[in-house]
Structure 1
Amino acid sequence: MKVLRTVSILALPLMVLAACSGGGADKDGDGKISKDEVAAEAASIKFSPGEWENKVEIVDVKFDDSKLPPEAKGMTGAIVKQMVGQVQTTKNCLTKEEAEKPGADFLAGAENDECSYKKFDLSGGKIDADIACKGKEAGQQGDIKLTGSYTATSYDMQMNMVMASPQSGSMTISAKNSAKRIGECKG
């Protein structure tokens, strides 16, 4: 499992947050949240356009190295543990069009389209989501739980991710993610 892939998954929360609206995404009440229902949710949210600053901090990482060859054990865990405490800060411009109507592609978050939503309730300014994604290789699975709160100009959430692969074992990552609008877009 590549650390870079893990970091790209950490970009998911802003994209997931774009789907926010009241009452949860399962509008037809069938117990399944379809991509169309998520897209409908995305069409209802309004963010404030402008420059946004996003911070992701890795709080804890646990790595099960039992499936690795003996020479890789310990070394991989040590590399993964170095992620703890690191903060990645990015800035991006959210245009008026994106802020008024984030599209379904805004919440893809992964390079593939193999995610399903077990729970997706973002009513009342609160975040409570449970997402499962399949990896590109056979047997890879990622489960992501998000909790927190949001407004039109900011959000704060906690992320707990469990990524598993038959080839490399499992990794659990706890992270904090926050973002806020910091001004007008530059350039």
Structure 2
Amino acid sequence: MKKFFVYSLLLVCLLNDSCKNVEYDWEKATTGAAPKVTVNIAKSALPTVQTGNVSFFNMKEADYATKQQFEWTLDYFDFGRTTVQSIDVYLSFNKRESSPPAYPIVFSLAGEFPSIRQFPLPSTVLATDKLYETVTSFPKTFTLTPAQLAAFTGTNLSTVGVNDYFLFKFILTMGDGRKIVQYQENACDESRGEPCDCRVGVRFKNQ
């Protein structure tokens, strides 16, 4: 009786599969890659944390525009299942949001990640963002002064205020040519610790 039940179950499974005439989107799912950013926190003008993907310029220091540096390295998460052709790196200058994150950075209860996102969401490349570079060899390290960032974005540093920021965002091209132009907001939120660094930035302080 037990054998009969097993054979009957197998027959039902085979019949169901042979009668299938619909393809579902989830059956075509593939693994995507995601940008990976490492900030050189030792070069931040003020203390920061690696998990925040944020560095700081301190306007209180004389000649900060040419002496201070924002350094970060771009790579990618491929999860051992996919390849990346290139990552387009976009740069923008932004005035402070109405409620910028607190500083010093406040940790979550886990004590590892910031308690709040460090830049606004969603993190989408906009028409006002300027293509800074297309990276095809990884990892790639960027080392930039406030003056260099300002020159590229056309920003007058004399008008910059506390909590204004430069922000890099990414469009990733997979090995098969598919482009990932936006990631889910939860993935971009620095407070969640997701394996996806869809932006990295540097804020201005005066302290």
Same fold (TM over 0.5): no
Indicate the structure (1 or 2) with the bigger Cα radius of gyration: 2
TM score, norm. by length of structure 1 = 0.25
TM score, norm. by length of structure 2 = 0.24
More strand by share: 1
